[in-house]
């Protein structure tokens, strides 16, 4: 077990490290990247920080059993069936869908007895976090609880340890009350009350923060009853890390390989996403096809490089979505492709070096989510771009609030409108493109991860 006297604690479902068992039974560790990891490293190990996360795979569970681990990380071995209900059942199939407004009537949602059973697991899962945090935290410690998986934990932790300073951060959008209230009333109240157990509830944009307070008023009545403070911290791109990492040899190799697939003298429309329903990859492909239809002069002169990495493949709807992305890419290629030109280059295998390579060479970046808490791709591309890149950006991404002025803004449902935006982006004069990219990069890096993290700690003290 890790230190019992942590001064700063972070809690999230997915932690900074994961383990896989190879054939010989050896555990192999894999470090994750991302804003929280670099944010935590910024405060340094001497600060006595501890990250509490969940074991997600058989490898992780085996690591916990063998006592293998990393200093500063405590992985919770929550029973696999409880985790399955909490993560796939409640968090990813319900809370993610509500906050991204992804449900499609008439089939969904239906909050039936099976959902209530999963909800009990969600409570158990949150309680396991609250108990571990209560056990590990030094008196008066700061605890930063992350995301929708852990909506109930702040209130539970508050009851166990009234001395702690607790923050909750939502990395997703928040739904407006008209949508949020499709949840059963008691569940809606529990979710809001869970977060209100924190001293501070923070969001990526003012829009999501306002939606949360609107939901509190609609469900719980006027006023934020516990006096929880509401904050906004717009997580930015990690410029230092990205600029350095994107010039390493493996990225240069990927650039050569991608250029070969694109073909000399052609423009590249790039997208990089988890294959996630909210990312709107299918409508992106439809818009690209519409562009080839409406503007035949682009045929043979442009390639859509779509990096769509697997995500949440335990859920059938995600597997189906991936199949549809693949099918549509194939269809466009057989419809328009010629012996020397593949209109869509689709990569489905997760490869960070290839993502950075695509960022560097993109002429146009397509970021068209239906709804997105922030969208860091929109912020990373301008930072890494070699020669400037036009950004086609959905007005429903949190990043729109900071980048909207220098992006070409789209309604993500409007396929024809998105095709027109792609055309404008492709024809943007190169000097204008470079100027806009500079301004986008400045806006995108205004709040780097380390600062984002420190700001939250400071705000908890205030």
**Interface ranges with ligand G6P (CB under 6 A):** 14, 147, 171-172, 311-312
| Nearest Cα to Cα of residue 373 among 393, 398, 353 | 398
CB of 89 to ligand G6P, least distance (A): 13
C-beta closer to ligand G6P: residue 14 or 266: 14
C-beta closer to ligand G6P: residue 100 or 436: 100
| 407 φψ region: left (φ > 0), alpha (ψ -120 to 50), beta (else) | beta
Helices vs. strands in the chain: H and E counts, helices first = 19, 15
Give the gyration radius of the chain's Cα atoms: 22
CB of 14 to ligand G6P, least distance (A): 4
Kindly list the distances between the CA atom of residue 201 and the CA atoms of 118, 210, 401, in Å, as whole numbers in the listed order.
Answer: 25, 11, 20
C-beta closer to ligand G6P: residue 146 or 228: 146
Containing H/E element for 432? helix 430-444
CB of 285 to ligand G6P, least distance (A): 22
Peptide bond between residue 104 and the one before it cis (omega within 30 degrees of 0): no
C-beta closer to ligand G6P: residue 213 or 275: 275
CB of 16 to ligand G6P, least distance (A): 11
One DSSP character per residue, 319-349 reads: HHHHHHHHHHHHHHHHHH-BTTB-SEEEE-S
Give Cβ neighbours of residue 432 (< 8 Å, ≥ 6 apart): none
CB of 441 to ligand G6P, least distance (A): 22
Closest residue to ligand G6P using C-beta atoms: 171
CB of 417 to ligand G6P, least distance (A): 26
One DSSP character per residue, 100-149 reads: TT---TTT-----HHHHHHHHHHHHHHHHHHHHHHHHEEEEEEEEEESGG
Three-point CA angle 85, 16, 276, nearest 5°: 55
C-beta closer to ligand G6P: residue 34 or 48: 34
C-beta closer to ligand G6P: residue 49 or 95: 95
| Nearest Cα to Cα of residue 373 among 182, 212, 193 | 212
In total, the chain counts a number of residues equal to 462
CB of 327 to ligand G6P, least distance (A): 23
CB of 343 to ligand G6P, least distance (A): 29
- CB neighbours (10 Å) of residue 330? 13
Buried (b) or exposed (e) across 118-136, using 16+ Cβ within 10 A? bbebbbebbbbbbebbbeb
Judge whether 387 and 372 are in contact, CB under 8 Å. Answer: no
C-beta closer to ligand G6P: residue 14 or 245: 14
Question: Interhelix angle for 352-361 vs 377-384, to 10°?
Answer: 60
Sole residue written with tokens 């702040």: 154
For residues 179 and 174, what is the distance between their CA atoms, to the nearest angstrom? Answer: 10
CB of 171 to ligand G6P, least distance (A): 4
CB of 147 to ligand G6P, least distance (A): 4
C-beta closer to ligand G6P: residue 208 or 336: 208
CB of 261 to ligand G6P, least distance (A): 27
C-beta closer to ligand G6P: residue 118 or 172: 172
C-beta closer to ligand G6P: residue 147 or 406: 147
C-beta closer to ligand G6P: residue 173 or 388: 173
């Amino acid at each position: 077990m890790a230190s019992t006297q942590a001064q700063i604690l972070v809690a999230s479902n997915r932690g900074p490290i994961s383990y896989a068992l190879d054939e010989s039974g050896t555990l192999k560790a894999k470090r994750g990247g991302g804003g929280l990891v670099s944010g935590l490293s910024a405060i340094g190990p001497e600060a006595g920080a501890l990250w509490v996360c969940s074991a997600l795979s058989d490898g992780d569970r085996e690591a916990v059993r063998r006592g293998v681990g990393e200093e500063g990380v405590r992985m919770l071995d929550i029973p696999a069936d409880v985790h399955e209900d909490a993560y796939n059942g409640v968090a990813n199939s319900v809370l993610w869908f509500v906050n991204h407004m992804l449900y499609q009537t008439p089939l969904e949602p239906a909050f039936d007895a099976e959902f209530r059973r999963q909800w009990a697991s969600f409570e158990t899962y949150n309680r396991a976090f609250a108990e571990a945090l209560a056990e590990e935290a030094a008196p008066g410690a700061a605890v930063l609880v992350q995301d929708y998986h852990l909506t109930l934990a702040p209130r539970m932790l508050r009851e166990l340890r009234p001395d702690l300073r607790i923050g909750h951060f939502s990395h997703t959008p928040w739904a407006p009350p008209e949508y949020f209230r499709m949840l059963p009333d008691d569940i809606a109240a529990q979710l809001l009350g869970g977060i209100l157990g924190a001293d501070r509830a923070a969001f990526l944009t003012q829009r999501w923060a306002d939606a949360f307070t609107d939901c509190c008023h609609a469900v719980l009545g006027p006023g934020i009853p516990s006096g929880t403070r509401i904050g906004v911290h717009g997580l930015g791109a990690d410029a230092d890390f990205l600029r350095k990492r994107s010039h390493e040899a493996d990225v240069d190799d990927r650039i050569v390989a991608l250029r070969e697939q694109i073909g000399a003298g052609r423009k590249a429309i790039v997208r990089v996403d988890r294959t996630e329903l909210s990312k709107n990859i299918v409508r992106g492909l439809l818009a690209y096809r519409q562009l080839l239809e409406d503007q035949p002069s682009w045929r043979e002169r442009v390639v859509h490089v779509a990096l769509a990495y697997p995500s949440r493949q335990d859920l059938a709807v995600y597997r189906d979505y991936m199949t549809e992305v693949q099918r549509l890419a194939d269809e466009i290629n057989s419809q328009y492709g010629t012996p020397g030109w593949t209109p869509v280059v689709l990569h489905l295998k997760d490869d960070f070096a290839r993502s950075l390579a695509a960022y560097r060479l993109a002429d146009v970046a397509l970021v068209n989510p239906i709804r997105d808490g922030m969208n860091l791709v929109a912020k990373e591309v301008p930072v890494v771009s070699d020669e400037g890149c036009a950004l086609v950006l959905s007005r429903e991404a949190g990043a729109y609030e900071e980048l909207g002025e220098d992006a070409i803004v789209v309604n993500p449902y409007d396929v024809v409108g998105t095709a027109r935006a792609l055309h404008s982006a492709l024809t943007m004069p190169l000097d204008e493109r470079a100027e806009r990219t500079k301004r986008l990069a400045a806006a995108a890096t205004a709040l780097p991860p380390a600062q984002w993290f420190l700001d939250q700690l400071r705000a908890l003290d205030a």
